[in-house]
Amino acid sequence: MRFADKVVIVTGAGSGNGRSIAMKFAEEGAKVVAADLNLAGAEETVALIGKGKEALALKSDVTLKSDVEHMVAQTIETYGTLDVLVNNAGIVAFTEFLELSEEEWDKVHNVNLKAPFLCSQAAAKRMIASGTKGRIINITSVEAHRIVSSSGHCQPHYNSSKGGLNLLTKAVALELAPYGITVNSVAPGVVETPFTAGGLQNPEVREWVLGRIPAGRIASPGDIANAVLFLATPESEYITGSTVFVDGGWTIH
């Protein structure tokens, strides 16, 4: 039980990677706040965590400062402290550059970049006030480092939002290091989630993806969760401002 009595917030915990991360922390004894815009999804995650473990489902729009502050305040009110924040909430869209609207650009950046800023700031203030040597872990993407496309088109709003999150990780890590708070990111490759299921069911797409993964398989949400948990352990306390790639070797190319 590596995280007994630790309190963890996971955003976007209503499905996919976020659900797996929340469940892994709970299995290791943490008290988990599963936050999601989709409250039903967050409640399902809490139900899957099961009886005998402490978990709280919260509806939160992490692009809104008021919602973020309420999420952190409710966590402190319920569990008394905050040790780990996982900024997992994110969206992706596939509109080509020449067709991309300002509204879609703003939506992707608000969720993928503004939200981690708001959540990290609110969490860090609480950690500093309580003297907690906390952990902030951002979920980025291999697409923050290289363009991944089977069609020749990129996702400029998604790529730039995740690239910005990488630099936000480094900047916040530098500022929070004197407080003993580490800030790192995990960059998944292609992961088997409900979101990717439609595309990966296409044999040509699946073959194209597998052909670029030296490990020979597509990641599971558990692979991402394992990396996140490592970055929250005491053994990782000397790692900050770094990105852990969980992509089966995709970025080796």
Residues known to be catalytic: 158
Helices first, then strands: H and E counts in the chain = 9, 7
Alpha carbons 250 and 180: distance in angstroms, whole number: 32
The two three-digit tokens of residue 235, written as one number: 């053994």
16: left (phi over 0), alpha (psi -120 to 50) or beta: left
Sign of CA dihedral 243, 248, 250, 253: positive
What angle (nearest 5°) sits at the alpha carbon of residue 141, between those of residues 23 and 195?
60
Residue 204: is it exposed, middle or buried by C-beta count within 10 angstroms (0-12/13-18/19+)? exposed
Alpha carbons 87 and 119: distance in angstroms, whole number: 7
Closest of 198, 196, 202 to residue 218, by C-alpha: 196
Sign of CA dihedral 176, 136, 244, 200: negative
DSSP 3-state assignment of 186?
strand
The two three-digit tokens of residue 158, written as one number: 């998604």
Closest of 89, 85, 69 to residue 77, by C-alpha: 69
